[in-house]
Every structure is written in C-alpha cells, then in structure tokens.
Amino acid sequence: MAEIPVLQNILEANEAMAAQVRSRLERAGVVALNFIGAPGAGKTSLLEQTLPRLHGRLSVAVIEADCATARDAGRIKALGIEVVQINTGTGCHVPAHLVLQALDRLPLERIQLLIIENVGNLVCPAELDIGESGKIAVISVAEGDDKPQKYPMLFRQCCAVVLNKVDLIPHTDFRRERFEGDLRTINADVPLFGVSCRTGEGVDAWVNWLIGQTTAR
C-alpha cells in the first residue's frame, strides 16, 4: 500500500500552490469559479451563452483546460474575452501550479471574475483545491438523472449546479424530479439552474446569480 503517502505528497504540493493562487486573487479582488463537468456537458457552450450577457456588467477572464487542443480557448477568444489555454496532456485535471502560471498571463487588476474551465471530468477535479472561490458543477440532461449519488464528491462541494441541455428532456428518459431528489440527498441547499445553451432557456437566471457572487464578496 505505497499509494497513500505518495498521493498525499502530491496533494500537499498542490495545496501550497493553491494557497498562492488564492492569495494573488484575493489581493487583486478577483472571484474565481472553477467549472467542472464531464466531457460534453456543455461547459464551453455555457460560457458562450454567459459571457456576452456579462458585457458591461462584469469584467471577466477565462482559463481553459483540456488534455489537448486550443479549441475551447478559440471559442472564448472569438467573444473578445481574455483567455489562457492550459493543455494538461495526459493530466485529468488542472493542478494549482498551472493556474498560478496562467495568472501571470492575465490582467488581474482589470478583472472581477476569473472563470476556470477544468478538463472534462466529473471525478478528479472535484477533490482538488486550485485556489478557486468556488466550484460550479455542470451536468447535461443526456448524462442521465442518476449522477449526483454516483459522483457525490463534486455535487457535495459545489456552490451551484447548472443542469444543461434541458431542451433534450423530451427526447430522453431523464426525469427532472429524480435528478433533483438525487441531488438533494447529497447537497440539500445548492442552487440549481436548468438551462439550454442551444435555446438560451434559463441562462438569464444563472447569469444574475453569477453576478451576485462577485458583488456578495
């Protein structure tokens, strides 16, 4: 059983880096939200719906993380938003030391909200502190209504849940009341936003909550 001390060494190194990230963000007055969800949950699509609605209300920058390609960063840049792409290679999450490096490339003094879109993964990023103010769980209707109890770490720790692709509900076996019941056994009070990034349904309520997060702090 050599694994446990080994993993703790990595975690301790990460925690020290996360503390540095947090301290730099706090000094600059930046709220950082870490968007976590499975591949294809629609994290980038959610940003494409969200960022234009923040224009003139909140200054934002984005860190995109993927194993490979700069596709998502390209989509964000096309909106005129400052973005840094992190490629993790075989890494299943973005570690704090890469976030720290990314901060050097961003105009922290000019932004209020930093969005970190993590690698598509419902498991590994959920446990790791990267110096963020909070974690946002993004899940799609197409993933099924049984996910909160099967992947409890993220749903327990997040400060909001975005249920994306609600336009697909009529075409799937997804039952919203079953999803909510499942979620509430894990996290009784977390705000839940049902949205469709295809139709724009529900996005305004989510954006208003998001703006509230930066003014509340």
Question: Does residue number 187 form part of the binding site for its own copies (CB under 8 A)?
Answer: no
| Residues in binding contact with its own copies, number by CB under 8 A | 45
Question: Does residue number 168 form part of the binding site for its own copies (CB under 8 A)?
Answer: yes
Question: Does residue number 171 form part of the binding site for its own copies (CB under 8 A)?
Answer: yes
Question: Does residue number 101 form part of the binding site for its own copies (CB under 8 A)?
Answer: no
Q: Are 50 and 207 in contact (CB under 8 A)?
A: yes
**Which region, judged by CB under 8 A, interacts with its own copies, from 49-57, 86-94, 98-106, 208-216?**
86-94
The mark string for 24-63 relative to its own copies (x by CB under 8 A, - otherwise) is --------------xxx-----------------------
Residue that has been written with the tokens 């799937």 in this structure? 172
Question: Does residue number 20 form part of the binding site for its own copies (CB under 8 A)?
Answer: no
How many CB atoms within 10 Å of residue 189?
Answer: 6
Q: Which residues pair with 64 in a beta bridge?
A: 85, 117
Binding to its own copies (CB under 8 A): which residues in 125-154? 127, 140-144, 146-147, 149-153
Nearest to 50 by CA among 39, 35, 69: 35
Select the residue interacting with its own copies from 59, 157, 172, 213 (CB under 8 A): 172
Question: Does residue number 66 form part of the binding site for its own copies (CB under 8 A)?
Answer: yes
Select the residue interacting with its own copies from 54, 106, 114, 120 (CB under 8 A): 120
Select the residue interacting with its own copies from 167, 176, 209, 211 (CB under 8 A): 167
- Nearer of residues 107 and 181 to its own copies, judged by Cβ: 181
- Nearer of residues 59 and 172 to its own copies, judged by Cβ: 172
For its own copies, the binding residues (CB under 8 A) are 2-3, 6-7, 9-10, 13, 38-40, 66-69, 71-72, 90-92, 119-124, 127, 140-144, 146-147, 149-153, 165, 167-168, 171-173, 198
